[in-house]
């Protein structure tokens, strides 16, 4: 505890659900936070920006506990700030729009605590935008109002003047109003709105779980009840809803609504997940492997010491490049140590990884299978080849090189270790309940480890309920050895090609 200073509180708007919609300043606050008090609907992805040592405290409020929890949150902010901590109060949407941010700041002011407000994108703006509904438009609406759908807004002493609001603005957006659609429609039509006024409900806006329901003031309540439509949602009321059919974009993405499991190592999973999400998919990260450099690797140190003596150095993965280069720097060397050695890079991502450290590969094979790579390389007789690789790696590449007369030195530089399978039971339930559409595998080890995690739970039964995507032939073979069918495999072994092939697969099946 630092008694010499008082901390500071940042009220940060996290945005409407899509973690990428937080502001840059919001991310900056999270990166230096010592304490984060976060709301119920905050994406876990945002908490990954926090320092590892930060204290992350759930501050969500469920029905019936709002007042008590709010008092606890206020006390917690004061306590942590008085301990000299940098506190981020991470709130959904915007802190000052139906977020009780004003109340929390008043508590800080009364206690003399320094604070800053970092605005966020509110769901009333974002959810309609992701549904293809502009809240204003020259031909349809020149005014908009935000209204709470809480039950208190219909009390006799409610400050909301429905009799004036009904016709005073063109577009109305109601927060969390699904449970009171009957009353909303009644109040608006009673005070002058046409029963034909278009209405759109947007559930979990800006996320892959987004759902929409369209109707009018006359029938939207009945439709919502029939569809079992639930909060969190916004209700958009007005003529601007007529533009949705032309302007919808998010729920028209090729993988929208598809739930896809990514099994590669967590350090690499985010890039693949980001590609799938750009196509509209909802990704579930379930890493089955972890990449660990081999420590005290004397064989690698010796190879680096005589690196320029090799004729070829072959990198088959980004992992190999990054771990090899890290060890090169540990040995007080850099890319000049390669000397006359030529560089072979397998796959576009490996090429990019080499480019980042200032190396342009001399040869990039057209295929990723070991035997095919060896066949494409020429004049290997008596040539010395260094192959940094995983401890457990296919033998087809070094064997193919040796068959062509090369002197191959394959040095393991990292292990692919099976993870603990955290979240296995939840994933299994999702698959068995048909809530998962596809499981992706990007290496043979991801297949093997996945199956071992479910070994006592009949993986062939579990995976038979989903589509399976494999990044390349060797991964596909591992799937087939488990008695399973591969539904998707690209011609090029890269996550970009795999994602595109998944898009094509669902395009054909739709």
The residue whose two tokens read 């800053």 is 116
Catalytic residue flag (residue 61) = yes
- Rounded CA-CA distance 255/279 in Å is 5
**For residue 470, what are the CA distances in angstroms to 275, 467, 492?**
16, 10, 11
Identify the bridge partners of residue 343 per DSSP, sorted by sequence position: 313
Q: In the structure encoding, which two tokens stand for residue 148, read together?
A: 């709470």
Contacts of 495 by beta carbon, 8 Å cutoff, 6+ apart: 271, 272, 275, 349, 442, 471
Sheet holding 86-91: strands in order across?
A: 55-58, 35-38, 86-91, 8-13, 114-118
**For residue 2, what are the CA distances in angstroms to 6, 37, 156, 305, 415?**
8, 20, 50, 49, 43
Residue 374 contacts residue 404 (beta carbons within 8 Å): yes
Q: Which of 176, 211, 251, 432 is catalytic?
A: 176
What is the β-pairing status of strands 144-148 and 171-175?
parallel
Sheet holding 407-418: strands in order across?
A: 289-293, 407-418, 384-390, 312-315, 342-345
Task: Indicate the helix (H) or strand (E) that contains 498.
Answer: helix 495-509
Catalytic residue flag (residue 302) = no
Helix (H, G, I), strand (E, B) or coil at 198: strand
Q: What is the dihedral of CA 199, 200, 201, 202, to 10 degrees?
A: -150
Q: Which of 61, 404, 418, 480 is catalytic?
A: 61
DSSP 231: S
Task: Report DSSP letters for 291-327, one per residue.
Answer: EEEPSS-HHHHHHHHTGGG-SEEEE-SHHHHHHHHHH
Q: Which of 25, 39, 211, 311 is catalytic?
A: 39
- Rounded CA-CA distance 180/409 in Å is 71
Residue 462 contacts residue 491 (beta carbons within 8 Å): no
DSSP 141: B
Sheet holding 233-237: strands in order across?
A: 144-148, 171-175, 233-237, 198-203, 211-216
Residue 129 contacts residue 247 (beta carbons within 8 Å): no
- Rounded CA-CA distance 13/20 in Å is 12
Catalytic residue flag (residue 39) = yes
- Residues known to be catalytic: 39, 61, 176
């Amino acid at each position: 505890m630092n008694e010499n200073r008082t901390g500071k509180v940042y009220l940060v708007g996290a945005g409407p659900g899509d973690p990428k919609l937080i502001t840059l300043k919001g991310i900056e606050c999270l990166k230096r936070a010592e304490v984060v008090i976060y709301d119920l609907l905050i994406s876990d992805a945002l908490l990954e920006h926090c320092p590892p040592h930060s204290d992350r405290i759930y501050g969500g409020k469920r029905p019936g506990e709002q007042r008590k929890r709010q008092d606890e949150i206020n006390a917690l902010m004061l306590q942590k700030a008085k301990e000299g901590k940098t506190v981020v109060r991470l709130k959904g949407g915007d802190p000052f729009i139906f977020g009780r941010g004003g109340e929390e700041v008043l508590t800080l002011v009364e206690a003399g605590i320094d604070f800053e407000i970092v605005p966020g994108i509110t769901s009333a703006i974002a959810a309609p935008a992701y549904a293809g509904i502009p809240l204003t438009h020259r031909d349809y609406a020149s005014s908009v109002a935000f209204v709470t759908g809480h039950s208190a807004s219909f009390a006799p002493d409610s400050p909301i003047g429905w009799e004036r609001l009904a016709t005073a603005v063109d577009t109305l957006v109601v927060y969390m109003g699904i449970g009171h659609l009957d009353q909303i429609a009644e109040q608006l039509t009673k005070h002058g709105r046409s029963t034909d006024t278009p209405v759109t409900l947007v559930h979990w806006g800006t996320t892959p779980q987004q759902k929409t329901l369209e109707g009018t003031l006359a029938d939207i309540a009945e439709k919502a009840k029939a569809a079992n439509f639930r909060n969190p949602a916004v209700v958009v009321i007005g003529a601007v809803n007529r533009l949705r059919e032309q302007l919808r974009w998010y729920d028209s993405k090729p993988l929208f609504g598809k739930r896809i499991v990514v099994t590669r190592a967590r350090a690499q999973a985010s890039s693949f997940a980001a590609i799938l999400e750009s196509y509209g998919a909802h990704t579930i990260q379930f890493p089955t492997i972890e990449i660990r450099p081999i420590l005290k690797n004397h064989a690698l140190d010796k190879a680096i010491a005589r690196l320029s003596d090799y004729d070829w150095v072959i990198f088959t993965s980004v992992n190999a490049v990054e771990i090899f280069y890290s060890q090169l720097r540990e040995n007080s060397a850099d890319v000049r140590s390669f000397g006359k050695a030529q560089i072979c890079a397998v796959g576009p991502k490996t090429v990019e990884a080499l480019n980042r450290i200032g190396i342009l590969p001399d040869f990039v094979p057209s295929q990723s299978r070991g035997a095919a790579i060896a066949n494409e390389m020429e004049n290997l007789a008596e040539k010395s080849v260094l192959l940094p690789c995983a401890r457990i790696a296919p033998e087809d590449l070094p064997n193919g090189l040796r068959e062509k007369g090369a002197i191959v030195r394959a040095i393991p530089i990292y292990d692919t270790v099976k993870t603990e399978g955290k979240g296995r039971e939840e994933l299994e339930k999702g698959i068995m309940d048909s809530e998962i559409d596809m499981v992706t595998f990007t290496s043979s080890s991801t297949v093997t480890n996945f199956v071992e995690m479910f070994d006592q739970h009949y993986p062939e039964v579990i995976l038979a309920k989903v589509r399976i995507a494999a990044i390349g032939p060797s991964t596909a073979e591992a799937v087939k050895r488990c008695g399973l069918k591969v539904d998707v495999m690209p011609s090029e072994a890269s996550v970009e090609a795999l994602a595109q092939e998944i898009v094509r697969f669902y395009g054909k099946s739709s």
